[in-house]
Structure 1
Amino acid sequence: MDAIKDIVEATIDYEGQKKAYKYQNLIIKWGANIAVTVYGFLVTGILTAVVVVYPWNYYRKNPINWQVPGLQAEE
């Protein structure tokens, strides 16, 4: 129990606090960049799916008039 108490109640000096603060900021910034990247890809993927997958009227303005099989094209 004393070993755990020593670890939990450990004290550090000013230089140690400075290093800990530096590492804390680096880790948080790195984690935030990863989160922004992941959420950015997620939002971009959803936006792309909504714009491209759904058959919006914008994509149906110029329908193709297909020739009926077995008939000659009118000239």
Structure 2
Amino acid sequence: MDYVQSLVEGKIDFEGQRLTGTFRDYTLIGSAIISFLFGFLSQSLRTTFILLGFSTIVLCAVVVPPWSYYNRHPIKWLPVKVEGKKA
């Protein structure tokens, strides 16, 4: 059960979030351009949407799971400051 919870929890650091955002942006733009060109050259709207859908599914498989390289820079939090009890 702990293994499943660790997979679902999905901890990634801020650097990993930036990396996935940049990768997502460039991949979606690139795949949209390539899909449009292939669809235009083949004169098929179906080809355009199949290529775009396939590239989106592959992108989701790469970006959505919390892979370990998205957590290479974990955050080092300050220790908890314990204050004395006041009467």
TM-score relative to the length of structure 2: 0.42
Structure number with bigger Rg: 1
| Higher relative contact order, chain-length normalized (CA < 8 Å, sep 6+) | 2
TM-score relative to the length of structure 1: 0.48
